[in-house]
């Protein structure tokens, strides 16, 4: 190598090696390491602000049996993050004159059921069609174990009654997005996998993304895990033909950064299509994305859950902050991690559940909090005194011990959740606020 070239190469390498990491990166890594050490997370994280990647790292194992570590190149099942790719595909078809979002889907389906005659593409995209979620179709449970065609999946839901008239309500619906994938295939004559690859992945250089298939030998694919009675266990099997356009894609954290930069940089959709996609409707849902706020900041996001995998993808458009968390251990850690990483990317401080300090309170001091609290979403939260500690249980969900942090303030050790109680002028406990990440739910004592 000529000496001048060697000198320039050495100087360039020295610049890269001496570049200081983003000041937030150390705390982001500490947070992710904490979730990993507490057996709540295995996977990869990536946080970027504008053109700068603040952190991109893997944690835990992609395969426990072989002790293969997760890295930024590991491919994860995306679960419901898939829905934004499906929504973008439908919007592309509208741009090309193949359909209109307000078209009744019966225009594209043979022998459309009478209940579906008024369902439009817009209804399916925004979960306002009235078609229920998978728990509304218990007969689909055995289907998870076998390969299925889009036509056979649609055939199992087409004759079921709607939960409400199209447009009259909101109910998150995986079958609705399965139906969108089936319609896409009928309209284009291409498979869903081929259309997404040709029109979304390839143009953005997303070479590590695709439609998952159980039989395929896929390099760097993470195995999914869950918690068993004696520790971690392999996740239950699901044939990836079943989640289809509602949850069948795989990707990496770095490919999803390419997606966010392409989508929000105007390289995927027209300005009008992008506006439609990111406009909130019932339930705060746009088209394939949740449109809301994260601690007062505009946030466009989605999380996903499928056997052995939980995922989170968030974008703060005003600050151009991207947060990606892909996990191959079932649980709520990726969404909680997504919140913490988003806060740190905005120079805020965070405190993790295991960093909170428990104080001692006697049973007589705890007794005033006992009661039933009706939350603003209609759920009931029962607070009980169990020996020398409080416990809280939302109807139909697990019971958790409340640990006192200060008078009127409690937290959970297992989850990123805090309870703050309020008192009336006479000192009686009358209200409660449940906080989890950026979400706060108020409740009033019965």
Shared-domain flag, residues 249 and 385: no
Residue 198: pLDDT band with limits 50, 70, 90? very high
Shared-domain flag, residues 315 and 179: yes
Integer Cα distance of 371 and 384 in angstroms: 7
Shared-domain flag, residues 280 and 138: yes
Shared-domain flag, residues 238 and 181: yes
Give the three-class secondary structure for 307.
coil
Integer Cα distance of 374 and 351 in angstroms: 27
Answer for the pair 120, 104: CB distance below 8 angstroms, yes or no. yes
Shared-domain flag, residues 374 and 407: yes
Geometric angle at alpha carbon 32, from 30 and 38, rounded to 5°: 100
- The reported pLDDT for the residue numbered 353 is 83
97-146 tens-digit pLDDT: 999 999 999 999 988 999 999 999 999 999 999 998 876 777 767 788 89
Shared-domain flag, residues 302 and 376: no
- The reported pLDDT for the residue numbered 414 is 73
Shared-domain flag, residues 114 and 214: yes
Least confident span in 21-25, 77-81, 188-192, 368-372? 21-25
Residue 21: pLDDT band with limits 50, 70, 90? low
Q: Is the confidence at residue 150, as pLDDT, over 90?
A: yes
In a domain, 10, yes or no: no
Q: Is the confidence at residue 16, as pLDDT, over 50?
A: no
Q: Is the dihedral of CA 136, 141, 142, 148 positive or negative?
A: positive
State which of 289, 323, 345 marks the end of a domain: 345
Integer Cα distance of 85 and 91 in angstroms: 10
- The reported pLDDT for the residue numbered 13 is 32
Shared-domain flag, residues 290 and 437: no
In a domain, 87, yes or no: yes
Residue 22: pLDDT band with limits 50, 70, 90? confident
Integer Cα distance of 68 and 221 in angstroms: 11
Shared-domain flag, residues 367 and 302: no
In a domain, 37, yes or no: no
Average confidence score pLDDT of the chain: 92
- The reported pLDDT for the residue numbered 1 is 41
220-260 tens-digit pLDDT: 999 999 998 889 999 999 999 999 999 999 999 999 999 99
Q: How far is CA 299 from CA 55, 158, 178, in A?
A: 20, 34, 26
Domain count of the chain?
2
- Please give the model's pTM, rounded to 2 decimal places: 0.86
In a domain, 271, yes or no: yes
366-400 tens-digit pLDDT: 999 999 999 888 889 999 999 999 999 998 888 99
Q: Is the confidence at residue 7, as pLDDT, over 50?
A: no
Domain that holds residue 257: 76-345
Shared-domain flag, residues 144 and 275: yes
Geometric angle at alpha carbon 22, from 20 and 24, rounded to 5°: 140
Least confident span in 63-67, 256-260, 284-288, 353-357? 353-357
State which of 326, 345, 364 marks the end of a domain: 345
Q: Where is pLDDT greater, at 62 or 18?
A: 62
Cβ neighbors of 334 (< 8 A, separation 6 or more) are 41, 43, 303, 310, 311, 312, 325, 326, 327
| CATH number for the domain that contains residue 385 | 2.40.128.50
Shared-domain flag, residues 330 and 372: no
298-344 tens-digit pLDDT: 999 999 999 999 999 999 999 999 999 999 999 989 999 999 999 99
Q: Is the confidence at residue 8, as pLDDT, over 80?
A: no
Return the percentage of the chain with pLDDT > 90, whole number: 81
């Amino acid at each position: 190598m000529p000496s001048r070239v060697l000198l320039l190469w050495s100087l360039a390498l020295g610049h890269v090696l001496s570049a200081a990491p983003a000041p937030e990166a150390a705390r982001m890594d500490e947070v992710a390491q904490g979730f990993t050490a507490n057996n709540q997370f295995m996977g990869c994280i990536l946080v970027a602000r504008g053109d700068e990647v603040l952190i991109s790292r893997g944690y835990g194992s992609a395969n426990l049996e072989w002790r293969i570590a997760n890295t930024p190149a590991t491919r994860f099942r995306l679960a419901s993050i898939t829905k934004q790719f499906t929504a973008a595909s439908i919007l592309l078809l509208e741009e090309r004159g193949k359909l209109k979002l307000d078209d009744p889907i019966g225009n594209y389906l043979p022998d459309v059921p009478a209940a579906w005659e008024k369902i439009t593409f817009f209804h399916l995209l925004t979960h306002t069609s009235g078609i229920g979620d998978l728990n509304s179709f218990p007969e689909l449970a055995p289907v998870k174990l076998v390969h299925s065609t889009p036509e056979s999946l649609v055939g199992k839901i087409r004759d079921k009654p709607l939960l409400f008239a199209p447009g009259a309500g909101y109910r998150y619906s995986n079958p609705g997005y399965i139906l969108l994938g089936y319609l896409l295939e009928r309209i284009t004559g291409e498979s869903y996998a081929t259309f997404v690859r040709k029109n979304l992945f390839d143009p953005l250089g997303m070479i590590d993304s695709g439609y998952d298939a159980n039989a395929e030998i896929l390099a760097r694919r993470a195995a999914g895990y869950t918690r068993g009675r004696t520790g971690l266990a392999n996740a239950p099997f699901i044939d990836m033909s079943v989640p289809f356009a509602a949850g069948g894609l795989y990707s990496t954290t770095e490919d999803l950064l390419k997606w966010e930069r392409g989508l929000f940089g105007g390289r995927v959709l027209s300005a009008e299509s992008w506006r439609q996609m990111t406009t909130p409707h019932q339930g705060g849902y746009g088209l394939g994305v949740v449109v809301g706020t994260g601690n007062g900041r505009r946030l466009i996001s989605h999380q996903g859950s499928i056997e052995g995998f939980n995922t989170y993808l968030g974008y703060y458009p005003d600050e151009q902050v991207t947060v990606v968390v892909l996990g191959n251990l079932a649980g709520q850690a990726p969404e909680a991690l997504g919140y913490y990483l988003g806060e740190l990317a905005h120079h805020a401080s965070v405190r993790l559940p295991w960093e909170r300090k428990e104080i001692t309170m006697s049973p007589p001091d705890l007794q005033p909090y006992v009661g039933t609290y009706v939350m603003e979403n209609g759920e009931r939260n029962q607070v009980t005194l169990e020996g020398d500690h409080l416990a809280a249980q939302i109807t139909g969900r697990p019971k958790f011990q409340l640990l006192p942090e200060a008078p009127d303030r409690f937290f959970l050790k297992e989850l990123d959740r805090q309870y703050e109680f309020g008192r009336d002028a006479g000192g009686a406990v009358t209200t409660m606020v449940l906080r989890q990440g950026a979400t706060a739910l108020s409740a009033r004592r019965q």
